[in-house]
Structure 1
């Protein structure tokens, strides 16, 4: 399933949708019967069960009782249905609408698998490197706007060092080590930061060397997000994020599963973490030691 960034459901909404749909099926009730009990059109209930629209709390309560759901599970679902996704990013004017959904997903994720072939992933960028990349955009904005966007990028990194940190598995094309994002000093600092990040237990950083040749994702960078479920027994499906020049698409279900397999294939072709750190250090020493490099 492909969705644009404006219609991607939050994790709590999707958990409620999955749980209510599964409860209906276990109870042996049809959409027609359930919609009648809830006073809804069949199409409306279908949209709720697909997480296209949020389940109202009152409807969750009424249908949960109709499905003879355990009261404790019902109350937890009602609480989830009323949960609002409040985060630091919501009122930040420097986060475009098409990217706000991604920031929310990133905040909710427990594990992120990402592949980048030509640039360092945003979660591992230094401020100076991020500023160089953002400044190269044709619609970069004013220096003040670029600084604000850099601040957003750095704020996102806080989850990597939190008490319960985000786990990040990165496959990075070797080209990203050689393509300058700023001057030599900026690149030295960026590569040193990669080595430092890679030493953390929650980060698995692997470099895909040039010697690997043409690979399965030569034309597509992507980020796959996996989520802990706030409700026992309900699995939250992965979401794959692919960014392009004017926005982004989100893939779920079979498409997300395929990208999970792609990431594993790339991971197997890449150097292991120790070899990757050694390569990063070598490129830093050989390519970026001179101030005029």
Structure 2
């Protein structure tokens, strides 16, 4: 439908990308129903295509009807455009590879840990927005328990488990959550120890997503202080893939990683 609307408006994907800020590859995924746009993204597209009522309202309602738990309307405005797109891609992905240097990835966070992270890293945002973002993270976790669950491979810098976020009780609960998830066949967790020395992840945290259809290109989501970014160019994605392979080779085995987490839990006592 959106493909036909764009063609009727006489606009190329490149023109739409320039006017809306939507990556060309992302626009292709949206038009081929491989990804769902956020409401504000769809609204911008409909306005650009000069779609009148009632067709505009019908298109927005279709988006609501097709929405999965990965992106609920109630907290859509609390996340960035890029992060919202990432959540939709994550819901469709076959596997995800995370490297985190600072904190536990959102999919594995407890509510208390997530609250402590937001209150510390974003002290000026309102309690309502914090609550909305935490709900977004909790609803995202459905991808780990659905019938065909996301295959998750996480490498954490040792600093993540050594840093006391929210206090001892919050960390104890978070460690229990990590151990619980690693009992699942679709979750692998490794710790990159301090004594591994310098490593490629020192450049920052990132996530690689792979999709069921081999024809769909991999995506990289990179978090930054000022903004986040979705990368879809093959050469750059390949570089991140090599970096992740190096990181997991340098990290402790999954069994030794859980032992380190258990030892850290005992240290809290």
Q: Give the TM-score range, shorter chain.
A: 0.7 to 0.9
2:119 is aligned with 1:135 = yes
Give, in angstroms, the shift of residue 103 of structure 1. Answer: 0.7
Give TM-score scaled by structure 2 length: 0.74
More helix by share: 2
2:12 is aligned with 1:44 = yes
Alpha carbons 2:211, 2:218 under 8 Å: kept = yes
2:138 is aligned with 1:165 = no
Give, in angstroms, the shift of residue 107 of structure 1. Answer: 0.8
* Cα pair distance change 1:107/1:45, threshold 3 Å: closer
* Cα pair distance change 1:210/1:142, threshold 3 Å: same
2:163 is aligned with 1:179 = yes
Greater RCO, CA 8 A, separation 6+: 1
**Of residues 228, 251, 255 in structure 2, which corresponds to 1:248?**
228
Matches within 5 A, 1:1-293: 44=12, 51=25, 53-54=27-28, 86-88=67-69, 89=71, 91=73, 92=75, 93-229=77-213, 235-252=215-232, 253-286=234-267, 288-289=268-269
Distance 1:200 1:183 in 2: 27
5+ residue gaps, structure 2, are 17-23, 33-61
5+ residue gaps, structure 1, are 1-12, 17-37, 58-82
Give, in angstroms, the shift of residue 243 of structure 1. Answer: 1.2
**Partner-residue secondary structure (3-state), 2:102:** coil
Give, in angstroms, the shift of residue 211 of structure 1. Answer: 1.1
**Partner-residue secondary structure (3-state), 1:204:** strand
Give, in angstroms, the shift of residue 52 of structure 1. Answer: 6.5
Alpha carbons 1:47, 1:53 under 8 Å: kept = no
Give TM-score scaled by structure 1 length: 0.69
**Partner-residue secondary structure (3-state), 1:225:** strand
Distance 1:208 1:44 in 2: 45
* Cα pair distance change 1:148/1:267, threshold 3 Å: same
- How many residue pairs get aligned? The number is 222
* Cα pair distance change 1:210/1:143, threshold 3 Å: same
Distance 1:197 1:56 in 2: 35
